[in-house]
Amino acid sequence: MKPSYVRVTAAVAGAVLFAAVATACNRGSDSSSSGSSGKPVIGIDLPRSDSDFWNSYAQYIQDYLGPQGVKALPISNSQNDITKLVANVQVLERTGAKAIVMAPQDTGAIASTLDQLAGKNIPVVSVDTRPDKGKVYMVVRADNRAYGTKACDFLGKQLGGKGKVAEFEGDLSSINGRDRSEAFGSCMKQKFPGITVYPLPTNWDGAVASSKLQTLLAQHPDINGLYMQAGGVFLQPTLALLQQKGLLKPAGQPGHIAIISNDGIPQEFDAIRKGQIDATISQPADLYAKYALYYARAAATGKTFTPGPTDHGSTIIQLPNGLEDQLPAPLVTKADVDDKTLWGNNISK
């Protein structure tokens, strides 16, 4: 899939975000003896560039470096490869990173690297994904089980509790893929037993998803619902396949396949406006970047946080291996797709 590159508007990167630098996310304590007048050096690894969502996040990272008061080492990209991530982190460590921002796609295999960084007193902020083991300073993430539950509730009601639903599962080695899949499946069994779910493991790969959906449609041409766990990689190949097969019927017309996605990218919003898909859950790429850099700066300057409500509409929870700031992720439908507060309406396509 050809990646889409985006630019944040001035409105997003303006004075409101700058003011956030001086405001603690919740009431933490500053344990550093010296102030934080200088800009701490931060290492950043991007997880991939084959997703419109992650390309959006990458642009937000670039635009928020100044407002959040950090200096970034050359930014690396591990391209969904845990071996590359480990190598990139070693480079960031050797070149002086005082804290590291990463988004490990394999949340089990990163544990030893996290332990090594902890042993060298280099705190880690993990974005979107929660490492299974290994110490983290803060996970910046939305509630991924809520993604699956919201998708289930929406599709179940759209289909009137009856039908057949295909589910594009993310990588099940990732906590995100597991959380979304488990929550969606559990909700469907409990609330909508008249709906049959066909889980399709995809490893977050759009081509794999399209191929498996084509096979499923050949076996079950009466599929009438679809849950895509990541619109950034699944949307375009899915729409292309449905168009090719004459199944891309607008919402409200006979034969329409009800579709809900996760991400909240501009392309999903356009698809909602056209009636090609019905809804998405807006995963906050802007807030991921903003608070990843905020917490990285806080970590590098000795600030600590405790569980509880924040001043930006989220809640910090305690994990066995650190803390997690659970950011809000709203459901978006045709009724509110033009809401200017959504990050997907504040960037170019």
What's the CATH number where 311 sits?
3.40.50.2300
Q: Is residue 223 located within the same domain as residue 265?
A: yes
Q: Is residue 98 located within the same domain as residue 172?
A: no
Q: Is residue 249 located within the same domain as residue 127?
A: no
What is the sign, positive or negative, of the torsion defined by CA atoms of 299, 301, 53, 140?
positive
Q: Is residue 213 located within the same domain as residue 163?
A: yes
Cα–Cα distance between 120 and 316 in angstroms, integer?
25
Residues of the chain short of pLDDT 70, as ranges, are: 1-37, 348-349
Residue 56 lies in a domain: yes
Angle 179-184-189 from CA coordinates, rounded to 5° = 130
Domain boundary among 249, 266, 282: 282
Q: Give the number of other Cβ atoms within 10 Å of residue 335's Cβ.
A: 10
State pLDDT tens for residues 187-199.
Answer: 999 999 999 999 9
Residue 61 lies in a domain: yes
What is the sign, positive or negative, of the torsion defined by CA atoms of 60, 64, 70, 74?
positive
Per-residue CA distances from 239 to 19, 28, 218 (Å): 41, 46, 17
Residue 312 lies in a domain: yes
- CA-based end-to-end distance of the chain: 15
Cα–Cα distance between 123 and 31 in angstroms, integer?
14
Q: What's residue 28's pLDDT?
A: 42
Cα–Cα distance between 179 and 142 in angstroms, integer?
11
Q: What is the amino acid identity at position 72?
A: A
Q: What's residue 173's pLDDT?
A: 82
Tokens of 179: 């959380």
Residue 228 lies in a domain: yes
Q: HEC states along 153-182?
A: HHHHHHCCCCEEEEEEECCCCCHHHHHHHH
For tokens 């902020």, name the residue: 125
Q: Is residue 158 located within the same domain as residue 204?
A: yes
Q: What's residue 349's pLDDT?
A: 59
Tokens of 347: 């960037």
Range of the domain at 265: 144-282
State pLDDT tens for residues 68-80.
Answer: 999 999 999 999 9
Tokens of 191: 């609330």
Q: What's residue 67's pLDDT?
A: 95
Q: Total structural domains in the chain? A: 2
Q: How far is CA 310 from the centre of its chain?
A: 20
Residue 52 lies in a domain: yes
Cα–Cα distance between 326 and 86 in angstroms, integer?
26
| This prediction's pTM | 0.83
Domain boundary among 225, 247, 282: 282
Q: Is residue 62 located within the same domain as residue 168?
A: no
Tokens of 256: 């329409």
Domain boundary among 254, 282, 310: 282
Q: Is residue 264 located within the same domain as residue 158?
A: yes
Residue 222 lies in a domain: yes
Angle 342-345-349 from CA coordinates, rounded to 5° = 140
Q: Is residue 190 located within the same domain as residue 304?
A: no
Which ranges in the chain belong to alpha helices (H)? 15-20, 52-64, 82-94, 111-119, 144-158, 175-191, 206-219, 231-244, 266-274, 285-300
State pLDDT tens for residues 105-136.
Answer: 888 899 999 999 999 999 999 999 999 999 99
Tokens of 22: 């001086």
Residues 6+ apart with CB under 8 A from 137: 99, 123, 124, 125, 295, 299, 322, 323
Residue 9 lies in a domain: no
Cα–Cα distance between 249 and 246 in angstroms, integer?
8
Q: What is the amino acid identity at position 275?
A: G
Q: Is residue 180 located within the same domain as residue 101?
A: no
Q: Is residue 74 located within the same domain as residue 38?
A: yes
Q: Which residues are paired to 41 by β-bridges?
A: 71
Residue 273 lies in a domain: yes
Q: Is residue 88 located within the same domain as residue 22?
A: yes
Closest-CA residue to 152 (of 225, 205, 210):
225
Q: Is residue 271 located within the same domain as residue 250?
A: yes
Name the 3-class secondary structure at 32: coil
Residues 6+ apart with CB under 8 A from 326: 141, 142, 143, 314, 315, 316, 317
